Amino acid sequence: MTAVYINSASCISVQDTLKENFFQDLKADPSVQILKAVDPNYKEFIPPAMIRRMSKTVKMSSVASSYALKEAGIEKPDAIIVGTGMGCSQDSEKFLKNVIDNNEEFLTPTFFIQSTHNTVSGQIALGLQCHAYNFTYVNTSSSLEFSFLDAQLQINDGEAENVLVGAADEQTARTMELYRLNNTIKKEEDLPADYLHSKTDGVIWGEGAAFFVLGKNKTENSYAKLRDIQIINRLVIEETPSFIKDFLAKNDLKHEDIDAVILGFSGDITSDVYYTRAMNAFQNSALLYYKHLSGEFNTASGFSTFMACHILKEQHIPEVMMIRSAQKTDIKNILLYNHLAGNDHSLMLLERA
């Protein structure tokens, strides 16, 4: 497939990533089990009457997508594609609670209608009065990557020139309780978390929304060129080096051509071994990590993609992200590697626009 350009990038996350010069204020908090996203003033973007009916995923996505479209100078995209792992789980929990409390009788359909995973893309389209191609991917930790692939296909096939692509996930009280019970979330006694040299299972959970406008043509504001994406559901640890090597070879690159590698270290001793194995193959690249800044969640790769875009555009790597610094006067190629609990591995190759 022909490469496409990322012409805008917007993110609502645990960090205050909507403000300018946010690189200077990035801070990690390894001592809590759950990290909450920094909420913007939603009233500036959404009518108060609508805010009450929206889940956090929809609110975050509405604002992040608005920022992305404005930056790209696009009023109506030719397609809207959204990835999510859990969808609007707040409304899902409300609906299920109503089912139990009312003995499956006299149920109002509102929470059910608003709980479907494609509510996000639908609400964005309604707000824009956009009747174009509208699709939602629910593929756990590779939801954003599948959305990017679809956007790339739409552009390459001549179906669209500018595509709004995003990914979002929220936290809900009951789900977080269950994650604590099955040790998905780190135990209190295992905090503060050591993301790079963890001796314990579990992660610190986060949330957020990241949106991008992918275009056929490069613009003055382009952040990066999206060259390629590779996704695999299951991967044997020993095959990690060849998984990466084959991906680079497909793009006529070698390990030494990669200026920075962004790895999804989450602080989970069981699944982080994939990243450790991947690190060993890159001796001359800057090695970075990011989930200490965003928390782990299904679409956390949206945060890393957003950070990679800014690194390429500003030619600067925040010190707080560095595992190993390499003296790079020119940052051209960035490789992103992510998975969730050892499943759904993805590689994304970004090049400076």
**Per-residue pLDDT tens digits of the chain, which is 353 residues long:** 788 999 999 999 999 999 988 998 999 999 999 999 999 999 888 888 888 778 899 999 999 999 999 999 999 999 999 999 988 777 777 777 778 888 887 777 776 777 778 889 999 999 999 999 999 999 999 999 999 999 999 999 999 999 999 999 999 988 999 999 999 999 999 999 999 999 999 999 999 999 999 999 999 999 999 999 999 999 999 999 999 999 999 999 999 999 999 999 999 999 999 999 999 999 889 999 999 999 999 999 999 999 999 999 999 999 999 998 766 779 999 999 999 999 999 999 999 99
Asked if residue 205 lies in contact with residue 176, where contact means CB atoms within 8 angstroms, the answer is: yes
The pLDDT score that the predictor gives to residue 92 is 77
Helix, coil or strand: residue 181: helix
| Residue ranges making up the domain that contains 270 | 224-352
Shared-domain flag, residues 179 and 280: no
Backbone angles phi, psi at 344, to 5 degrees: 55, 70
Does 49 share its domain with 172?
A: yes
Domain's final residue, options 156, 182, 215: 215
Domain end among 215, 236, 252: 215
The number of distinct structural domains making up the chain is: 2
Cα–Cα dist 140/146, whole Å: 10
Question: Quick one: 202 and 236 in the same domain?
Answer: no
| Distance (Å, whole) CA 49 – CA 108 | 19
Q: Are residues 171 and 300 in the same domain?
A: no
* Residues 146 and 253 grouped into a single domain: no
User: Does residue 108 sit in helix, strand or coil?
Assistant: coil
- Residue 243: the pLDDT is 97
Q: Report the pLDDT value the prediction gives residue 327, as an integer from 0 to 100.
A: 66
Q: What is the pLDDT of residue 102?
A: 81
pLDDT of residue 47: 85
State residue 94's pLDDT score.
76
Q: What is the dihedral of CA 44, 46, 47, 50, to 10 degrees?
A: -150
- Return d(Cα 272, Cα 276) in angstroms, integer: 7
Nearest to 144 by CA among 1, 11, 287: 11
* Residue (of 196, 156, 216, 166) closest to 63 by Cα position: 166
Q: Which long-range contacts (CB under 8 A, 24 or more apart) does 184-193 make?
A: 184/341, 185/33, 185/34, 186/33, 186/267, 188/33, 191/30, 191/31, 191/32, 191/33, 192/30, 192/31, 193/30, 193/31, 193/267, 193/292
Q: Are residues 161 and 32 in the same domain?
A: yes
Task: Let me know whether 119 and 181 are in one domain.
Answer: yes
pLDDT at 35: 97
What pLDDT score does 303 carry? 98
CA distance 274 to 302: 20
Instruction: Say yes or no: 208 and 248 in one domain.
Output: no
Within this chain, do residues 183 and 280 fall inside the same structural domain, yes or no? Answer: no
Q: At what angle do helices 173-181 and 89-101 cross, to 10 degrees?
A: 90
The CATH number of residue 306's host domain is: 3.40.47.10
Closest C-alpha among 323, 319, 336, 337 to residue 26: 319
Q: At what angle do helices 143-156 and 301-314 cross, to 10 degrees?
A: 60
- How confident is the model at residue 49, as a pLDDT? 80
Say how far apart CA 137 and CA 21 lie, in whole Å: 31
Examine the domain organization and report whether 27 and 107 are in the same domain.
Answer: yes
Structural domain ending residue among the three candidates 194, 215, 236: 215
Q: Do 144 and 116 have their domain in common?
A: yes
**159 and 71 within one domain:** yes
